[in-house]
Amino acid sequence: MQSSIVHKLLALLSAVSAAQRPMTFTEIVDKTGMNKSTIHRLLSIGVDEQMLRFDEQRKVYLLGPRVFDLVRNAYNGYDIQAIALDEMVRLFDMFDVNVTIGVPSGNEVVYLRVLEAAQSMGGVQRPGMREPIHCSASGKALMAYYPEDVLRSNLKDYVFERFTERTVPDVETFRKELEFVRAQGFGRNDREEYDHFIGISSPIFNYMAEPIAVLNIWAVYPRHTIETLVGWSDELITSADRVTALIGGIRPDSGDLVSR
């Protein structure tokens, strides 16, 4: 009996969370298919436990503060580099190139962990190192999934510093790179910050489909070419998606990205 109540309460919470707006009692009954007396009982439990909130004025139900507390506590408690390590090792073993994980920090990417290949010719990306968004595969992979208003704010007065002849020179070119990321699922860097380093990156998302970290593969040119790395992008995306799933995240639908 207790198990049945738990299952029904979870079904009710799922219905409320999936709705595009707060739901009335009648809408919840219609959505869940449960009888009114059961819904009354479950709503009472949900409100008492602060899993649901009832708006007296509009006579509607929505998720309560305890749900968001649970999610926030879960996200505050994990170490993204520890969770991603197995996938980093998988990519490292598969391709014998450098694998890193980074997180956004303003208009830069900060690298948390680096698995360095024997033939890396000396590391460029080190733990704690920062890279500008415009000349790194990581920055492009993250920025491509920002809401348009946030992206516009970040790029306002942004200085596209030139590091090599291949560095992205302006906003228009950078936005084209972001379109590539949204279409392909990964960012690329073909000797844009250093003359001999190339890389591809794929983002990791949280439960709100926001990019919170990025997995990267990078190598040395001409030992490898960008075309070679692009050929490995499916495995990189697979690893990033696995880490996303481990933290309860969601990869956004490509059609929703620009309008967010």
Could you tell me the residue range of the domain that residue 164 belongs to?
78-256
Residues 136, 237, single domain; the answer is yes
Residues 235, 187, single domain; the answer is yes
pLDDT at 2 over 70: no
- How does pLDDT run across 99-143, given as a tens digit for each residue? 999 999 989 999 999 998 876 655 555 667 889 999 999 999 999
User: At CA 144, angle to CA 139 and CA 145, rounded to 5?
Assistant: 115
Residues 97, 149, single domain; the answer is yes
| 205 part of a folded domain | yes
pTM: 0.74
The CATH number covering residue 107 comes to 3.30.450.40
Residues 42, 88, single domain; the answer is no
State the Cα–Cα distance between residues 203 and 187, nearest whole angstrom: 9
Residues 98, 177, single domain; the answer is yes
Task: Domain count for the chain, please give it.
Answer: 2
| 73 part of a folded domain | no
Residues 98, 151, single domain; the answer is yes
**Interhelix angle for 25-32 vs 2-18, to 10°?**
110
| 92 part of a folded domain | yes
Residues 49, 146, single domain; the answer is no
Residues 132, 221, single domain; the answer is yes
- What is the sign, positive or negative, of the torsion defined by CA atoms of 22, 250, 212, 65? positive
DSSP annotation string for 12-40: HHHHHHHSSS-B-HHHHHHHH---HHHHH
pLDDT at 17 over 90: no
The CATH number covering residue 26 comes to 1.10.10.10
Characterize the bridge pairing of strands 60-63 and 211-220: unpaired
Residues 186, 91, single domain; the answer is yes
pLDDT band at 38 (very low <50, low <70, confident <90, very high): very high
